[in-house]
Structure 1
Amino acid sequence: MYLKLHTKIILGFTISLSILLLTSLAAYFSIQQLAYSTRLVEHTYKVLQYTSDLRMQMRDAQSSLRGYLLVSDSAYLKSSNTYLPIVLADYDSLRRLTVDNPAQLMRLDTLRQIISEEKEFLDLWRGAAPSPEAAQALLLSDRNMLERLRLIINRIKDTEEELLKHRTARQDFFEKTTPLAILVSAALAIITVLWLFRKIWQELNANARLQAELAQVNTETSRRIQIIENLAEKVVQGDYKVRIRDKEKDNLGNLATSLNRMTQTLDTAFSALENRNKELDQFAYVASHDLKAPLRGVLTVLKWIEDELSHELSTQMWQYLGMMKGRLARLEDLINGILAYARIGRTEQKLESVRVQELVQEVVDLVVPAEFTVHIAPDLPTFVTDRLSLEQVFTNLLSNAVKYHGSAIGTITISCSETKKLYEFRVADDGPGIAPEYHEKIFLIFQTLRDRNTAESTGIGLSIVKKIIEERKGSIRVESAPGEGATFIFTWPKE
């Protein structure tokens, strides 16, 4: 369509002004973002400042109280009392500043608990009689509390410093882009005046149509992604029967089909696993009731025979009765061992701080005879784990070291080494040793190197140990040779 010159000029200026307006808005947005980023940076600096002040006030409170105990100057005691309100004020300021950060709020909850514990601790010491020994005792007693305070404050500061890095980078970005946006707006105005108005108009129309199409596609894609996210959330919550009804022949449709197959497979697998667990529970019930009851009945009959016919039994019959009681005891041990093996990994773990030195000593007192010499390394660790499982491992290993030693006296050594992610424990004895060809066999269930007629040899103890350790992603092996004793080495993760 032919346009007159003035119409083209008017149209050109109109387009130019429109683009100037848009670019000005972009520049305004950039300026606003710069101001916002600046406020965020200042906010982060305030958090870091309050955090440092809080830690310093807590440290000064303890130092003032220590000064009072050291020189018996009541001015120090009065000074110590003035720090707590400042600490609480700093804490309240931190909480207001981090109200939008759940992770920091959790750390502040921990920090509040430490502050309360420190206050109670210092209150106890304010009534102590001043002396250099009391000041030293306060310092030593409070070291762990101050260390906890330092660690939680360092975590808060590390998070804020990471935020500061990102916010500073964002601030630097908008500092650079703001003048650039202004320059671009002016350049675009000049270019648009020189550009073909008709072509620009066509391009603008084409862009408008494309934006509408993209918006529609984006809306539809967001809706379908939300459906997939909902499915994933339901799977996480244990609902494996959920399905997606998406028949589109594109990548999201293919993903939906794959997810449907996955949930169906999970549903089938978990149903089968649930049935297996029910069968295992039924087995445990049968083993603990239907199998043990006849054993107790037979043992009772044997006792009746021994009690009522003791004067009529020959030496050979007494020997036979002893053999029967030994076989029955071994059978009961087998049942108990099988039950223990089946329950591994199916009971809830109770995590607690375990002092391995004390745990090992308790196990030694329980299963190792006094005639044996036991060397326990002084550097056994203390860490958070399932105490009962670790105790089962040490109990089985130490009882095996005694049971298969072949002598009434012996020596057992327990030690530990540490790597980045796990502890490696060693239980060594000076027994008869194990030939290399049996190093793998001894960990198989019902496998034992002793005579089957020996009542104590069920062949389950080391299988239980191996399963417990492997449930916690650890490993176990044996180093031994005939006549050189045996060393069982197992790893236990720190977390």
Structure 2
Amino acid sequence: MKSKIDPKIVVGLALAVGVLLLTAAASFWSIRGLKVQTERVEHTYQVLQEAEAITAVLKDAQAGTRGYLLTGDTLYLRPYSMATDQLPESLARMHALTVDNPAQRARLDSLQALVEQEFRILRPLTEIRTSMSQSAMQTLLDTDRQTLKQVRMLYARIKRNELNLLAQRTELQDIFEKATPIVVLVSAVLAVLIVVWLVMKIVSELADNRRLQGELASVNAEVSRRIAQIRTLAEQVVQGDYTVKITDSAEDNLGGLAASLNRMTQTLDESFSALEKRNQELDQFAYVASHDLKAPLRGVTTIVKWIEDELSAEISPQLRTYLDQMKGRLSRLEDLINGLLAYARVGRTAQPPTPVDVAQLLGEVAELVVPPDFTLRIGPDMPTFVTDRLGLQQVFTNLLSNAVKYHHRGAGHLEVTCRDIGRCYEFRVQDDGPGIAPEYHQKIFLLFQTLRDRHTAESTGIGLSIVQKIIDEHKGSIRVESAPGQGAGFIFTWPK
């Protein structure tokens, strides 16, 4: 059971974020608009102040110059001197303030030309020249009055234009002053409403989640109980009890699995019952083979011996050859029966694990199967561990006896080594015999397979099959490393 977030919460959250972004954008736009309009209003006032200051300074310079002409007192020239310093700076500030207003910029250019013209008129008047005639002075004063008149007219146009701009900008400023609080308030109210709705939805979602978690915990507990039943059944099956059943009739996957396991245990019970019956039949066969088959063989062998003992003087060389061949066939048939019985018994008679000193075990095996003319070297790292002594002994016995039996010389050298590879020991039985071609490395482990003529070396082809079966029963592995003329090494793993 999986809890999912209500899509309404996702939509509401997205809507809230969107409204907050719009609120922020509207507030930013409104506040910025108010700020811009306020700056523009201030800019208009600055233009008006600068224009008025230029006119006033120019007017003071003219009045001061006229006072100087009337009295000859140089104190009256201070306004003129100040004007020469202030007016260029004021005109420069006016240029900067009207850079975005081409019409005002044109008027300012005209104003600057008039100011320069005024200075050209006033400059000669500030210097007392006896050579200047009264008529020339009067002409300059008349021109000065006309210039100042033009300055006043130009100032009036500049002021009128700025006052129009001031009225427009003041109106926009008022609009933004009124709109900004409304926009912020409406946006805040919308944001609060959406947040309250979101909180309510989240609280409801959390309550649903807690309810779902309770249901999920209940379902998990029930599933855990049913899985525990399945685990108990599996453990009992591993221990060999195939009659166990699971009482789970629910119509879901676990119920279907329980029904399948019940059918499996029933099938296993029937199969192992049949297998037990087959094993009993195999035991009966082994008994018949060991008694009913071997008894006639021993009888025939005895008869052949009687013939040799009682008619030894009358037996021709050819008949003696036939009798020897018959004894060899009878002996190999008995070995074959014994090998089949040994192969059938592998894994069917459980042997309790006992402590095994592998070096000592190899010494005992060597006394039984290694002739005196062979040398056997046992590696120094042979372990002592608890395992199936009889199975390990049978593996070493078959491998060493095979190495002796198939050796191509009268004497040879055998070597057994061991190394620890973690969960297993790896043993190697090496000889210096004729070796085995690579194409036969797998074939030699098959039942009844031998690489030499059975008449040349007595062999049933069962020995290595028994070795592999024993090692397979112990969850190990075996392989051969060999090449013609280089001896053979049988490497097998044996679990600790």
TM-score range, shorter chain: 0.5 to 0.7
Distance in structure 1 (CA, Å) of the matches to 2:444 and 2:336:
16
TM alignment of 1:86-485, pairs within 5 A = 231-232=233-234, 235-236=237-238, 238-454=240-456, 456-485=458-487
Determine the structure 1 residue equivalent to 2:91.
none
**Structure 1 residues 262 and 295, CA, compared in 2 at 3 Å: closer, same or farther?**
same
Distance in structure 1 (CA, Å) of the matches to 2:411 and 2:349:
37
Q: Aligned-pair distance for 1:258? A: 2.1
**Structure 1 residues 399 and 206, CA, compared in 2 at 3 Å: closer, same or farther?**
closer
Q: Aligned-pair distance for 1:277? A: 1.5
Q: Aligned-pair distance for 1:291? A: 1.0
Give the secondary structure class of the aligned counterpart of 2:274: helix
Distance in structure 1 (CA, Å) of the matches to 2:404 and 2:467:
16
Give the secondary structure class of the aligned counterpart of 1:384: strand
Determine the structure 2 residue equivalent to 1:43.
none
Give the secondary structure class of the aligned counterpart of 2:380: coil
Deviation digits for residues 154-193 of structure 1 (CA, Å, limit 9, x no counterpart): xxxxxxxxxxxxxxxxxxxxxxxxxxxxxxxxxxxxxxxx
**Structure 1 residues 307 and 469, CA, compared in 2 at 3 Å: closer, same or farther?**
same
Q: Aligned-pair distance for 1:220? A: 7.6
Give the secondary structure class of the aligned counterpart of 2:381: coil
Q: Aligned-pair distance for 1:458? A: 0.8
**Structure 1 residues 258 and 454, CA, compared in 2 at 3 Å: closer, same or farther?**
same
Q: Aligned-pair distance for 1:370? A: 0.9
Give the secondary structure class of the aligned counterpart of 1:416: strand
- Counterpart amino acid of residue 376 in structure 2: V
Q: Aligned-pair distance for 1:326? A: 0.5
Distance in structure 2 (CA, Å) of the matches to 1:472 and 1:303:
43
Distance in structure 1 (CA, Å) of the matches to 2:274 and 2:352:
28
Give the secondary structure class of the aligned counterpart of 2:428: strand
Q: Aligned-pair distance for 1:241? A: 3.4
* Structure 1 residue ranges without an equivalent (≥5): 1-201
Q: Aligned-pair distance for 1:316? A: 1.0
Give the secondary structure class of the aligned counterpart of 1:275: helix
Distance in structure 2 (CA, Å) of the matches to 1:451 and 1:373:
26
Deviation digits for residues 216-252 of structure 1 (CA, Å, limit 9, x no counterpart): 9899878867765665565455442344454331344
Distance in structure 2 (CA, Å) of the matches to 1:214 and 1:436:
62
**Structure 1 residues 207 and 369, CA, compared in 2 at 3 Å: closer, same or farther?**
closer
- Counterpart amino acid of residue 365 in structure 1: E
Deviation digits for residues 203-223 of structure 1 (CA, Å, limit 9, x no counterpart): 9x9999999999998998788
Deviation digits for residues 261-283 of structure 1 (CA, Å, limit 9, x no counterpart): 22123223322322332232122
**Structure 1 residues 208 and 350, CA, compared in 2 at 3 Å: closer, same or farther?**
closer
Distance in structure 2 (CA, Å) of the matches to 1:487 and 1:215:
61
**Structure 1 residues 241 and 373, CA, compared in 2 at 3 Å: closer, same or farther?**
closer
- Counterpart amino acid of residue 311 in structure 2: L
Retained in 1: the 8 A contact 2:415–2:430?
yes
TM-score, normalised via structure 2 length: 0.54
Distance in structure 1 (CA, Å) of the matches to 2:385 and 2:317:
56
Q: Aligned-pair distance for 1:338? A: 0.6
Distance in structure 1 (CA, Å) of the matches to 2:210 and 2:415:
81
Retained in 2: the 8 A contact 1:446–1:458?
yes
Give the secondary structure class of the aligned counterpart of 1:466: helix
Retained in 2: the 8 A contact 1:326–1:455?
no
**CA RMSD across the alignment:** 3.4
Deviation digits for residues 339-389 of structure 1 (CA, Å, limit 9, x no counterpart): 111111111122122111111112112211111122222222222211111
Distance in structure 2 (CA, Å) of the matches to 1:431 and 1:445:
22
Distance in structure 1 (CA, Å) of the matches to 2:236 and 2:486:
57
TM-score, normalised via structure 1 length: 0.54
- Counterpart amino acid of residue 266 in structure 1: L
Q: Aligned-pair distance for 1:491? A: 1.4
**Structure 1 residues 277 and 408, CA, compared in 2 at 3 Å: closer, same or farther?**
same
Retained in 2: the 8 A contact 1:330–1:455?
no
Retained in 1: the 8 A contact 2:406–2:457?
no
Distance in structure 1 (CA, Å) of the matches to 2:286 and 2:327:
24
Distance in structure 2 (CA, Å) of the matches to 1:277 and 1:378:
42
**Structure 1 residues 405 and 238, CA, compared in 2 at 3 Å: closer, same or farther?**
closer
**Structure 1 residues 246 and 459, CA, compared in 2 at 3 Å: closer, same or farther?**
same
Distance in structure 2 (CA, Å) of the matches to 1:426 and 1:221:
51
- Counterpart amino acid of residue 297 in structure 1: G
Distance in structure 2 (CA, Å) of the matches to 1:378 and 1:370:
22
Retained in 2: the 8 A contact 1:333–1:458?
yes
Number of residue pairs matched?
Answer: 298
Retained in 2: the 8 A contact 1:327–1:455?
no
